[in-house]
Amino acid sequence: MANEADDASGLGLKFGSVEEARAMIGASSLERVGEIEVNLAMIQYYCAAVQDANPAYWSEAEARAAWGRFVAPPGMLQTWVLPLHWRPEGRQYLTSMITETPLPGDRPINVTTDFEFFEPVFVGDRLRVSDRLTDVSEEKTTRLGTGHFITTEAAYRNQHGRLVARATNVLFRYRAAEAG
């Protein structure tokens, strides 16, 4: 069994066997509450980076006409629940079923993420998320290496407990292929 020192990803991955991982199917992570409220400055910074000219993200009058207030772009959903990468007291790791599922692979790569959106996310909202492990595949070998596909489903809620989105994510956690 590997230990955290073997975690080349820097994500705080847990290590173990596929049997241990499969025993966790159906388990949910603790709910993470976003540290930062949804805010206009970050929305506009994001929109500038992706060149999104939707007037509802730039003009209060347009936002009020469309939504009653400023709304966040759907592409920012995960932004509002990620922990800060660094703090004076030390690094905080993302805790999710992807990092908590014990497997032998030390490298993760995301394969797909599918979102369903149910309600808009507004400036001033504080989102929370919990995810559930739904599948761990048999061992597979790809050009990247040998490992397992992990499937999770995350529920994103606002401060009122209302479901705003659901995400299904597939990640490949593997051991790097030997250089040949």
Amino acid at 12: G
pLDDT at residue 178, rounded to an integer: 59
Burial zone of 134 (CB within 10 Å; 0-12 exposed, 13-18 middle, 19+ buried): middle
Average pLDDT of adjacent 10-residue blocks, the chain of 180 residues:
54 89 94 94 97 95 94 95 82 76 92 97 97 96 94 98 98 76
Residue 166 domain flag: yes
Residue 120 domain flag: yes
Residue 77 domain flag: no
Residue 10 domain flag: yes
Report the predicted TM-score, pTM, of the whole model to 2 decimal places: 0.86
Q: Which domain holds residue 141?
A: 4-37+84-176
pLDDT at residue 4, rounded to an integer: 47
Residue 62 domain flag: no
Residue 140 domain flag: yes
Give the long-range contacts of residues 116-120, CB within 8 A, separation 24 or more: 116/165, 116/166, 116/167, 117/74, 117/77, 117/164, 117/165, 118/163, 118/164, 118/165, 118/166, 119/158, 119/162, 119/163, 119/164, 120/67, 120/71, 120/72, 120/164
What lies within 8 Å, CB to CB, of 116 at 6+ separation is: 165, 166, 167
Residue 57 domain flag: no
Number of domains within the chain: 1
- Residues 71 and 138 sit within 8 Å (Cβ to Cβ): no
Instruction: Say which CATH number the domain at 117 has.
Output: 3.10.129.10
Residue with tokens 């959106």: 117
Residue 113 domain flag: yes
pLDDT at residue 93, rounded to an integer: 64
